Amino acid sequence: MTHTLPALIGTRIEDIDTPSLIVDLDAFERNVKKMGQFMKDNGLRHRAHAKTHKSSDIAAYQIEVGGACGVCCQKVSEAEALVNAGVRDVLVSNQVVARNKIARLAAMAKRARVLVCVDDLSNVDDLSAGAVDYGSQIECLVEIDVGAGRCGVTPGTAAVEIAKKIDAAPGLKFAGLQAYQGRAQHVYDHAERKALIEGAVKMTADTIALLKDARLKCDIVAGAGTGTFEMEGTSGVYNELQCGSYIFMDADYQRVRDEKGEFLSSFENSLFIYTSVMSKTKTDKAICDAGLKAQSVDSGMPVIFGRTDIEYVKCSDEHGVISDPGNVLRLNDKLKLIPSHCDPTVNVYDWYIGVRNGRVEAIWPVTARGMVL
Amino acid sequence: MTHTLPALIGTRIEDIDTPSLIVDLDAFERNVKKMGQFMKDNGLRHRAHAKTHKSSDIAAYQIEVGGACGVCCQKVSEAEALVNAGVRDVLVSNQVVARNKIARLAAMAKRARVLVCVDDLSNVDDLSAGAVDYGSQIECLVEIDVGAGRCGVTPGTAAVEIAKKIDAAPGLKFAGLQAYQGRAQHVYDHAERKALIEGAVKMTADTIALLKDARLKCDIVAGAGTGTFEMEGTSGVYNELQCGSYIFMDADYQRVRDEKGEFLSSFENSLFIYTSVMSKTKTDKAICDAGLKAQSVDSGMPVIFGRTDIEYVKCSDEHGVISDPGNVLRLNDKLKLIPSHCDPTVNVYDWYIGVRNGRVEAIWPVTARGMVL
């Protein structure tokens, strides 16, 4: 197997091979601590979303230093990778409906606390059969659609019906509600975002009341992301938040503004695509070595960190076109790109290169890279 | 390490785990043979572009069955992965300018025929020093910009100047021209595409004439992709074509039409993202398990193969939203998606699952997955 390592511990930043994924360890650590403090101040649990980083090293840091109670994963195989690496409390914040995936989930529940989301009555039977088969317990959150229009059952009686069935099913435990407003996270305007979350909070509170009437207690009321966590966190309704991107931030989250029109909760960009100029035959542009295989451009082009004189304007498989009106770039010049969307960008790399004080201090594998099953 | 394997040899297609990358082996083999026949009929060499597939198994098939003379790669590490797996003739159809990458290229040239593209005079010195240092020979193509506006020196005297310097440099051999019109490949309209390639052919022919005046012979006149290869291939100017996507095709190449407005050269879709419905709480839509981490959506949404009643309309990290106006989809239904862009989609998977006659017949690693250095 050919290696994919762009540096070694001690390598000077300017000697890291490109394109590669670098983490500013100081900024990353400040982000984790800032979120931990918010959760502590507001008496909330933080179940950090590991779909952002897919790293057992980062999960451990979020739990040990940031005070997170565990992690969320979005795929069974992603959860397996982290459990295999030592994480002991994981919510698959998604539906698991295929028979073979349920078997993997039930087997994993023998060696870690495992929770999952449910939005379908027939799925309860299958999850129960899986848990019974393996002699394990799977905790279930009923997922309600609080406005994102994706997964989740309609809030209210439909949710209560599923919760009752879970409560009665062998091998399962009804643990609460998943009420994530995914669509709101990337709404740039604060007032618009707030209105969406107020709607979500109301739907969630109403469903909790109905569950109470049915003598079903929600130990967990879960949701929220980096774009809205202060809203759910101060609602008095949610008690377990699932923020993920705050550790890294990205160019799209940079466009999401707080009440004062400022950068979201002062989280800092800590994740960068390190890239080099590899062709410079025109006076007004340069070609760099980070293209579509070094990032995901679903949320637009990356932003060049700390520069306003040049702009990353276009992308093909292995090339990025950088507008260079002042003709300032030269062959082998290195640049730090803020990815437009951190999660799917991380997923194409094998390694995080952690840097501090001008050199490489940590190299972490992207433990669950490519774990889409 | 957690495995990422969605099937075993013999698994029935409907039991392959999802999301996963499946190859219709019959369609794939027909595509390879069709391209091989075109090259043979026109007396051309085919240096198949491996950036599409990143697979040593597919490279071997293209060489042994399709008659390819070798492969192109777009990155040094991608080339290393294929050379390590047995490929013996590789062009890095890109600039290699960083000192450490040149060292890797020169080292690789001790165990395979290695060619590279050059568009900068100073790069000639560095490549020469690397080759001399390792006691190897690197063959160089001067890359000219024939209209794509990306890498490549201006056709004409600037190209001749670089060729002369290569010809005189120890450890290097001037091998010809790289004249790839990348922009033309995905121009949907045939006449517009043809005009772009006619321009490229003229610039290339003019540069060859100038090189001849300087007593420099172009053994290789290289370029062309799946969108235009018949044009370069019948130009009388190009002799080595670099098509890659023809083996798989994708939704964007499906929009590129031939003279009669038909699907390009009758190549067939052989590559699919296999996906399952994992949430179905609305009558008019379904949620599938292939999102941004199971594909690249830089060229738009994927197309659902063989279906006109449903449509993949939206994508988030781990979910795809499928419009289902007839409410025909059910939980665990499986669908085949034609990726919008094959190259960066392949790059997020570890395995090709080759299927024929209803079951898995071959499992190939994506040998150079993630090799971006």
pLDDT tens digits, residue range A46-77?
999 999 999 999 999 999 999 999 999 999 99
- Contact yes or no for B298 and A292 at CB 8 A: yes
Chain B environment of A102 (Cβ under 8 Å):
none
HEC secondary structure over chain B? CCCCCCCCCCCEHHHCCCCEEEEEHHHHHHHHHHHHHHHHHCCCEEEEECCCCCCHHHHHHHHHCCCCCEEEECCHHHHHHHHHCCCCEEEEEEECCCHHHHHHHHHHCCCCEEEEEECCHHHHHHHHHHHHHHCCCEEEEEEECCCCCCCCECCCHHHHHHHHHHHHCCCEEEEEEECCCHHHHHCCCHHHHHHHHHHHHHHHHHHHHHHHHCCCCCCEEEECCCCCHHHHHCCCCCCEECCCHHHCCCCCHHHCECCCCCEHHHCCCCEEEEEEEEECCCCCEEEECCCHHHCCCCCCCCEECCCCCCEEEEECCCCEEEECCCCCCCCCCEEEEECCCHHHHHCCCCEEEEEECCEEEEEEECCCCCCCC
Mutate to test the interface with A, among B317, B319, B340, B348 (most CBs of A within 10 A): B317
CA distances to A88, A119, A124, A175 from A255, in Å: 35, 32, 40, 35
Tokens describing residue A32: 């984790």
Nearest CA in chain A to B79: A2
Whole-number mean pLDDT of chain A? 97
B342 in contact with chain A, both atoms CB, cutoff 8 A = no
Which amino acid, B329?
Answer: L
**Residue B50 CA from chain centroid, whole number:** 5
- Contact yes or no for A332 and B97 at CB 8 A: yes
Bridge partners of A321, per DSSP, are A287, A314
Nearest CA in chain A to B150: A287
Query: How far is it, in rounded angstroms, from Cα B50 to Cα B239?
Result: 19
Query: How far is it, in rounded angstroms, from Cα B110 to Cα B174?
Result: 18
pLDDT tens figures, B267-290:
999 999 999 999 999 999 999 999
Question: What is residue B128's predicted lDDT score, i.e. its pLDDT?
Answer: 98
Query: How far is it, in rounded angstroms, from Cα A248 to Cα A347?
Result: 14
B302 in contact with chain A, both atoms CB, cutoff 8 A = no
- Contact yes or no for B318 and A75 at CB 8 A: yes
Tokens describing residue B356: 């024929």
Q: What is the mean pLDDT of residues B214-239?
A: 97
pLDDT above 70 covers a percentage of chain B that reads: 100
B284 in contact with chain A, both atoms CB, cutoff 8 A = no
Q: Write the class of the CATH domain B26-248.
A: alpha beta
Bridge partners of B173, per DSSP, are B139
> In the predicted model, is pLDDT for residue A1 greater than 80?
no
Which amino acid, B110?
Answer: K
Q: Write the class of the CATH domain A25-247.
A: alpha beta
Q: Where are the beta strands (DSSP E) in chain A?
A: 20-24, 45-49, 70-73, 89-95, 113-118, 138-143, 172-178, 220-223, 240-241, 271-279, 285-288, 303-304, 311-315, 320-323, 334-338, 351-356, 359-365
Element containing residue A317 per DSSP (H, E): none
B186 in contact with chain A, both atoms CB, cutoff 8 A = no
Question: What is residue B361's predicted lDDT score, i.e. its pLDDT?
Answer: 98
B348 in contact with chain A, both atoms CB, cutoff 8 A = yes
A 211-250 residues with CB below 8 A of B? none
> Across the interface, which of A20, A279, A371 has its CB nearest the CB of B119?
A279
Q: How far is B41 from chain A (nearest CA, A)?
A: 30
pLDDT tens figures, B62-97:
999 999 999 999 999 999 999 999 999 999 999 999
- CA-CA-CA-CA torsion sign (A211, A212, A218, A223): positive
Whole-number mean pLDDT of chain B? 97
- Contact yes or no for B279 and A81 at CB 8 A: no
Question: What is residue A196's predicted lDDT score, i.e. its pLDDT?
Answer: 98
A181 in contact with chain B, both atoms CB, cutoff 8 A = no
> In the predicted model, is pLDDT for residue A369 greater than 80?
yes
A371 in contact with chain B, both atoms CB, cutoff 8 A = yes
Mutate to test the interface with B, among A97, A146, A252, A281 (most CBs of B within 10 A): A281
Question: What is residue B261's predicted lDDT score, i.e. its pLDDT?
Answer: 85
> In the predicted model, is pLDDT for residue A109 greater than 80?
yes
CATH superfamily of A13-21+266-365: D-serine dehydratase-like domain (2.40.37.20)
Q: What is the mean pLDDT of residues A351-355?
A: 98
Question: What is residue A110's predicted lDDT score, i.e. its pLDDT?
Answer: 98
> In the predicted model, is pLDDT for residue B34 greater than 90?
yes
Question: What is residue B263's predicted lDDT score, i.e. its pLDDT?
Answer: 75
B370 in contact with chain A, both atoms CB, cutoff 8 A = yes
Question: What is residue A264's predicted lDDT score, i.e. its pLDDT?
Answer: 74
A151 in contact with chain B, both atoms CB, cutoff 8 A = yes
Q: How far is A277 from chain B (nearest CA, A)?
A: 9
CA atoms within 13 A on the CB side of B194: 8
Q: Is the ipTM of this complex over 0.90?
A: yes
Chain A environment of B296 (Cβ under 8 Å):
292, 296
- Contact yes or no for B370 and A348 at CB 8 A: yes
> In the predicted model, is pLDDT for residue A241 greater than 80?
yes
Which position has the token pair 């025909």? B328
- Contact yes or no for A81 and B2 at CB 8 A: yes
Where residue B39 falls among pLDDT bands split at 50, 70, 90? very high
> In the predicted model, is pLDDT for residue A265 greater than 90?
no
Q: How many angstroms separate the first and last alpha carbons of chain A? A: 23
Where residue B262 falls among pLDDT bands split at 50, 70, 90? confident
CB-CB contact of A259 with A266 (8 Å): no
A16 in contact with chain B, both atoms CB, cutoff 8 A = no
A 20-39 residues with CB below 8 A of B? 20
- Contact yes or no for B293 and A98 at CB 8 A: no
Query: How far is it, in rounded angstroms, from Cα B199 to Cα B178?
Result: 15
- CA-CA-CA-CA torsion sign (A285, A286, A289, A290): negative
A 114-143 residues with CB below 8 A of B? 119-120, 122-123
> In the predicted model, is pLDDT for residue B231 greater than 90?
yes
Q: Is B152 left (phi over 0), alpha (psi -120 to 50) or beta?
A: left
pLDDT tens figures, A134-157:
999 999 999 999 999 999 999 999
Residues 6+ apart with CB under 8 A from B362: B9, B23, B25, B57, B352, B353, B354
Cis peptide before B19 (omega within 30 of 0): yes
- The DSSP-derived string for A91-137 is EEEEE--SHHHHHHHHHHTTTSEEEEEE--HHHHHHHHHHHHHHT--
> In the predicted model, is pLDDT for residue B266 greater than 90?
no
Query: How far is it, in rounded angstroms, from Cα A306 to Cα B218?
Result: 44
CA distances to A275, B117, B201 from B196, in Å: 30, 22, 9
**Domain assignments of chain A as residue spans, ordered by start:** 13-21+266-365, 25-247
